[in-house]
Structure 1
Amino acid sequence: MAGVAVAVVAVSTSAILVDLSDAPSLVKACYRVLFMTGLVAPFAVRERDQFATISGSDWLLVTASGALLAGHFAAWFASIEYTSIAASTTLVQTQPAFVAVGAWLLLDERVTSRVAGGILVAISGSVLLSAGDFLGGTTVGSNPSLGNGLAVLGAASAAGYVLAGRSVRQRLSLGPYVLVVYGVCAATLFAAALALGLPLANYPAHEWGLFVAMAVGPGLLGHTVVNWALKYVESSIVSVSLLGEPVGSALLALAIFGEVPGEFTILGGAVILLGIAVTATDRAS
């Protein structure tokens, strides 16, 4: 559980670091994942013999997983530019609901009434969170509707990443798995940045520092530690623990930026977290 606690604290800094950077959102994602790939490479090299055992179908799944992870980072990083950090981090945590639906549709996994109820509660919270844009509540961000939509897209992409890589992870050790996934993700993001003509160089030193911090903090100590912890801790416990990310991010945003979440964001976020908690703890009940 100590590893999970470290991961939750680490991922809570992600939205703050992204918001502190003035680089284009896609460029931030590019370098975060590139540096993450470099950090895990030494661990993967120790188990390089496993790469020869990956089947053709598994290579397709790992490639799809990396591409979907790229979609997650691209959409979520962009969402932070348009909506509040509290709303963005809460909506991107609807991922477990998408995973439950995807597992039902694609993997023929049974959805219990509790899971279905939790998903409906989470969706209701998402609607409530966005209601301030239409009912005159206090909102934060230049275009909250767009930002909220991008955060939900980021959640759906992250769910696809989890579903695509679930079976492969059972046959492949952590190091080789994340190296391939992060490598595909980085290549996809850089291809998109080049296609859009975004500048990839000539950033000041503090920007490079933020790129590295994104990779080391929420990347290596966050998501990679989560992948490691899943071998030792029940996935339901890990999922519920990660619900602390929106709370941690919102508190940091308040302390650093003075960003006070609107009333609909607070209420809707609480409902979303309740729905995800119900969904994620179904296995443990």
Structure 2
Amino acid sequence: MLRFLLLLSGVFFCSTSVILIRSSSLPPALVGSYRLLFASLLLLPIFLKSWHTHRERVQLRMFRRCLIPAALLSVHLISWALGARMTYIANATLIINLTPAVMPFLAFFLIKEKVTRREILGTLVALAGVAVLSANAFSINPDYLLGNFVCFGSMITFAAYLAFGRINKDFPSIWLYMVPIYVVATALSFLFSLLTLDSISLGSWEEAGWMLAMAILPTILGHVTLNNSLRYFTAQTFAVVNLHQFVSAGILGWLIFSDTPPLTFYFAATLCVSGAVIVIHEAAKIRRAARKAKA
């Protein structure tokens, strides 16, 4: 139960991302660059402590496994910040929450993790909730077509990034895995910014504050918690629970911007919770069976 609550907390903190992106006026590339830079600096002491604790179990070649997820994270953060500003929020929310639709394929091809029928059922119920929420608001306006494609690509890279978190669950400490990813992703994001922007300056202390919030809330408290949860939950269980970001985002939007959710929001939230319950119950059943078999 505690691990599940931690997973939910990670989902909540990640849901603050879209609100903070909208609050900042920095170019998307710099949003990704500075949130990663600040997160890397804040986590460096924890990384050094973990390195000192586990140095006998850690070999430098292990960090090579961080390169691909770092590249995926960098592409995801930049494209997500870009796509969220190029299309309607409903479009971006719907597309980014299609992760469970592609996670079974990634889980099978990358980590040979099969998905049961009940997990598929729970996934379909949860996705129905997302579809209900966005059915009326989803736009097929050609003016937003490029933004929709950008969000779709961001969703694919996010799903792949999470799948690698499942692959690399054998790292002795989550900090030894996440901090190198953040450092490499920071370098890649700033390189992209230097090649595409005239300036990489923050511009103001206000923007620095937004980026610090991005580093602490969705990046450290969000992404680190989610990756740590992948050590204990299957990729599909994780993906379905992660669908609830739109629930948290809707509540935050109502509290901060007085953006009252439509009635369909509550029905969609019910479907998503129901789907998650089905998947989590099935995952618990599989774990109990595995423990019995091992015993």
- TM-score bracket, normalised by the shorter chain, equals 0.7 to 0.9
Q: Cα distance 1:145–1:262, how it changes in 2: closer, same or farther (>3 A)? A: farther
2:37 corresponds in structure 1 to 34
SS in 1 for 2:169: helix
2:214 corresponds in structure 1 to 214
Aligned length: 279
1:44 corresponds in structure 2 to 47
- For 1:154 and 1:182, locate their aligned partners in 2 and report how far apart those are by CA, in whole Å: 17
5 Å matches for 1:99-178?
A: 99-117=103-121, 143-178=143-178
1:19 corresponds in structure 2 to 22
Instruction: Give the CA deviation at 1:263.
Output: 9.1
1:243 corresponds in structure 2 to 243
Please say if 1:76 is aligned against 2:83.
no
Please say if 1:63 is aligned against 2:63.
no
Given that 1:4 and 1:225 are in contact with CA atoms closer than 8 Å, whether structure 2 keeps it comes out as yes
- For 1:187 and 1:248, locate their aligned partners in 2 and report how far apart those are by CA, in whole Å: 31
Instruction: Give the CA deviation at 1:244.
Output: 2.9
Q: Cα distance 1:111–1:209, how it changes in 2: closer, same or farther (>3 A)? A: same
Q: TM-score by structure 2 length?
A: 0.76
SS in 1 for 2:199: coil
- For 2:122 and 2:237, locate their aligned partners in 1 and report how far apart those are by CA, in whole Å: 16
Instruction: Give the CA deviation at 1:178.
Output: 0.8
- For 1:108 and 1:183, locate their aligned partners in 2 and report how far apart those are by CA, in whole Å: 29
SS in 2 for 1:47: helix
Instruction: Give the CA deviation at 1:267.
Output: 8.0
1:96 corresponds in structure 2 to 100
- For 2:166 and 2:17, locate their aligned partners in 1 and report how far apart those are by CA, in whole Å: 24
RMSD of aligned alpha carbons: 3.7
Runs of 5+ consecutive residues of structure 2 not aligned to the other structure? 286-295
Given that 2:119 and 2:237 are in contact with CA atoms closer than 8 Å, whether structure 1 keeps it comes out as no
| Identity between Structure 1 and Structure 2 (%) | 26
Instruction: Give the CA deviation at 1:105.
Output: 2.0
Runs of 5+ consecutive residues of structure 1 not aligned to the other structure? none
Q: Cα distance 1:189–1:266, how it changes in 2: closer, same or farther (>3 A)? A: farther
Given that 2:129 and 2:268 are in contact with CA atoms closer than 8 Å, whether structure 1 keeps it comes out as yes
2:59 corresponds in structure 1 to 54
Instruction: Give the CA deviation at 1:71.
Output: 1.5
